[in-house]
Amino acid sequence: MAVRMCPQCGKTVPATRVMALSDGFECPHCLTRLEVANGSRMIATVAGLAVAWLVWRVTRDSTNILGFALPVLLSFLAFGIVSPLVLMFVASLRTAPPPLVFEPVAAHGGHAQSVHDHAGGHH
């Protein structure tokens, strides 16, 4: 399956959209509502976690003064960077169910001006 391809119009969706709004966004070409398929989101999360673990493993043994906090911070950053990057490369898109639209109830009230004001007596 093509990466980041809109299933509706077949054009590629910019990676920035996929990364920033992976929970749902509109195709810039045909305005179809899309979302990242669960499969690719899983891959991105797993890859992010794997790299985070790796970073934690590597930095854990450092004798730095920040040795306590740094591995956690770095692995957190690694996850935050790697996960969207992976998503950018593996994301396959599908059309999202249309969002719920609440029809506003039409207000009928603007045409109630009284005609009696102009019915003045001629006495």
Binding residues for Zn ion, rule: CB under 5 A, are 6, 8-9, 27, 29-30, 32
Of all helices (H) and strands (E), which one includes residue 44? helix 38-60
Q: What is each CA distance from 28 to 9, 34, 96, 123, in whole angstroms? A: 10, 10, 14, 70
Least distance in angstroms from the C-beta of 19 to Zn ion: 18
Least distance in angstroms from the C-beta of 50 to Zn ion: 32
Closest CA to 62 of 51, 80, 75, 47: 75
CB-wise, 32 or 45, nearer to Zn ion? 32
Cα–Cα distance measured from residue 39 to residue 107, given in angstroms and rounded to the nearest whole number:
45
CB-wise, 34 or 47, nearer to Zn ion? 34
Least distance in angstroms from the C-beta of 11 to Zn ion: 6
CB-wise, 9 or 46, nearer to Zn ion? 9
